[in-house]
Structure 1
Amino acid sequence: MNGSRSDTFFQQFRHWDLNLLVVLEALFTEQGNVTRAAQRVGLSQSAMSHALNRLREMLGDPLFVKQGQRMQATARTVALAPQVSAWLEQIRQQLNPPQFDPATIRQEVNIAIHEHLERLILPSLLGVLRRQAPGIHLHSRPVPMALLTEAFAQGRVEMAIIGGDWELSEAFRQQLLTESRFVYIYHAEQLTLNEPVSLAELATVPQLASNYSHKTATIIDNHFTAHGLSRPIMATAGGITAIPAILRECPMLAILPEIMVVDHPLFDGLVMRPFEPEQVRAELYLIWHRLHEHDPVQQFIRERIIQHFADRNTVSPALPA
């Protein structure tokens, strides 16, 4: 941008209607025939005549003069018309969205994803990129929720996949990817529970919590509280990877989103049962900054993520209710 422009440079455009240059192009193309030029632009004949009068006033020239049965372009029009035509074509090309070919793009994309969520999306997404857009390099960034706004502001991430526990400002957009009920999990050699287990009975069983998402933990705690109960949390793990091993060693149960564990090989051999199947749900969102709303690469990645979860929601295995 040219920062040396004077105020006069900007103010003179207050008196010019650059839309009229399209009218000039149409009139010159139709050799001053107002009726045919009006049809080209999509105006009535009277509106085109009015636009021509405004053009004459703006440019200080009659532009087209009637000679016999024809309109003759003035010297000013003949000199100006090719420049206007070239300028309009240049602007048209620049304003049109560029052609996007994912196979030829070379770009890095950074997504904030916690480790426990990577398994849900990265294998599929990276497979798609390898086949369709090998030049797009995807990087997962495990950004703590409290630092997510800062990470966006610093350009360290362009989008994030998170639980529904982030206060969304006007600078961001979001898309719900999926909802998941919760399951309670334990090892049959460590705990003996008479199924089905009521909420009150679960509140008496030692529990292992996970702080992978503050909101998810709060959902469960609030559900117990709403029923006048509290769950005895004996230990907390930073993610879900260690939870199966802990449950095999300790007489505790864990309550986790079904989507996180139902097809996870580490949880094979553990007992899984629905926790209040239709009452408590975990939500997963895709978040992105408005700055990248129309970036074609960002759009390409977002569409693949959204489609992945749409397909998963259709065929995802589930526990019996």
Structure 2
Amino acid sequence: MAHPDLNLLVTLDALLDTGSVTAAARRLGLSASAMSRALARLREVTGDPLLVRAGRGLVPTPRALELRQEVSSLVQRANAALSPSPDVDLSTVERTFTIRASEGFAEGFGGAIVARAAREAPSVRLRFLPKAERESSALRDATVDLEVGLVRATPAPELRTALLFRDHFVGVVSPQNPMSQKPLTLEDYLAAQHVLVSRSGSGHAPVDGALAAQGHARKAGATAGGFGAALGLARGTNLAATVPERFTDALRHDLIAFPLPFEVDPIPVALVWHPRMDTDPCHCWLRSLMRDICG
């Protein structure tokens, strides 16, 4: 069976509402002859005359009267479906957002984000997951709504990103470490034993690249899979850890931080999402909230 021409619903709605071929044509920006042809098609499709001559005007048939409310409702719903999303009332939204982030983000920023979200949207729930690896399938399949992390490479090309802030590396040692007792020189830094951070186990990081450009290298005393683990090792040993300052602020309150005695490019911390969420009102609200708090 051939698919019906759904444009005829709009035409029928205008004809039944105005009861006039001329007025319906004017409403839809058509000529009177085009509207007459459309009425002929409607009569053919429905098997009913729909509007018949009565004096100088047209009157609806019983079938047209039956269709009038249903057709009007269908057209209104179609218009609503194809219009921009209305403003959302956050006080009535019930929704859970899953945010995947590298360690330290929930500890450093999660409290402020949850508190503000609770004030503005009391029934919205935020679920924080650890970021175990660099892959974007969870954003594509909607198991993760937003991702936050240290961006050192271009994400998948179909994803959207927004900068939250630029972080800087600092050195960190325990209060018992002799390095905590004096201003640190490059020679002191190179002489120390370090915790290298690498998910892959290679131990290479932007810090090592900056040192290599000057012909230097760190001495590896241990390798950790994340910054939290690196801080834990530094806390219980004389090893030095080099970590992002803001990203680990809540994790190193009992440790001594010091500026690095050499230049390292700042690292962008970005918010990442799938483009299908670009215009979702609640998703837009959450992205804006996180940028305000983290920026």
| TM-score normalized by the length of structure 1 | 0.69
Structure 2 CA distance, aligned partners of 1:234 and 1:272?
Answer: 20
Question: In the alignment, residue 90 of structure 2 is paired with which amino acid?
Answer: P
On the 8 A contact 2:136/2:156 being kept in 1, the answer is no
Q: 2:268: which partner in 1? A: 283
1:136 aligns with 2:124: yes
Instruction: Give the 5 Å matches for 1:80-119.
Output: 80-92=67-79, 97=85, 100-119=88-107
Q: 1:22: which partner in 2? A: 10
Question: In the alignment, residue 123 of structure 1 is paired with which amino acid?
Answer: G
Structure 2 CA distance, aligned partners of 1:215 and 1:305?
Answer: 32
Worse-superposed segment, 132-141 or 298-307: 298-307
Q: 1:231: which partner in 2? A: 218
1:190 aligns with 2:179: yes
On the 8 A contact 1:165/1:214 being kept in 2, the answer is no
Give the length in aligned residue pairs: 290
Q: 2:25: which partner in 1? A: 38
1:308 aligns with 2:293: yes
Matched residue of 1:115: which SS? Answer: coil
On the 8 A contact 2:234/2:241 being kept in 1, the answer is no
Matched residue of 1:259: which SS? Answer: coil
For residues 22-51 of structure 1, the C-alpha deviation after alignment (integer angstroms, 9 at most, x for no partner) is 1221122222142x3234334455654554
> What is the CA distance between 1:74 and its match in structure 2?
4.4
On the 8 A contact 2:196/2:230 being kept in 1, the answer is no
> What is the CA distance between 1:178 and its match in structure 2?
2.2
**Closer/same/farther in 2, CA of residues 268 and 112 from structure 1, 3 Å limit:** same
For residues 84-142 of structure 1, the C-alpha deviation after alignment (integer angstroms, 9 at most, x for no partner) is 12332344456664773332333333222233221332011111122122322222121
> What is the CA distance between 1:62 and its match in structure 2?
4.9
On the 8 A contact 1:261/1:267 being kept in 2, the answer is no
Q: 2:166: which partner in 1? A: 179
Matched residue of 2:168: which SS? Answer: strand
On the 8 A contact 1:160/1:286 being kept in 2, the answer is yes
**Closer/same/farther in 2, CA of residues 273 and 47 from structure 1, 3 Å limit:** farther
**Closer/same/farther in 2, CA of residues 112 and 194 from structure 1, 3 Å limit:** closer
Structure 2 CA distance, aligned partners of 1:158 and 1:308?
Answer: 18
Structure 1 CA distance, aligned partners of 2:47 and 2:74?
Answer: 20
The gaps in structure 1 that reach 5 residues or longer are 1-7, 313-321
**Closer/same/farther in 2, CA of residues 64 and 226 from structure 1, 3 Å limit:** farther
Structure 1 CA distance, aligned partners of 2:276 and 2:21?
Answer: 45
Percent of aligned pairs sharing the same letter: 26
Instruction: Give the 5 Å matches for 1:228-267.
Output: 228-237=215-224, 238-240=226-228, 243=231, 246=234, 250=238, 253-261=240-248, 266=253
On the 8 A contact 1:185/1:253 being kept in 2, the answer is yes
For residues 240-265 of structure 1, the C-alpha deviation after alignment (integer angstroms, 9 at most, x for no partner) is 47638827952x54433232356876
On the 8 A contact 1:204/1:232 being kept in 2, the answer is yes
> What is the CA distance between 1:144 and its match in structure 2?
0.8
Matched residue of 1:230: which SS? Answer: coil
Higher relative contact order (CA 8 A, sep 6+): 2
Matched residue of 2:104: which SS? Answer: helix
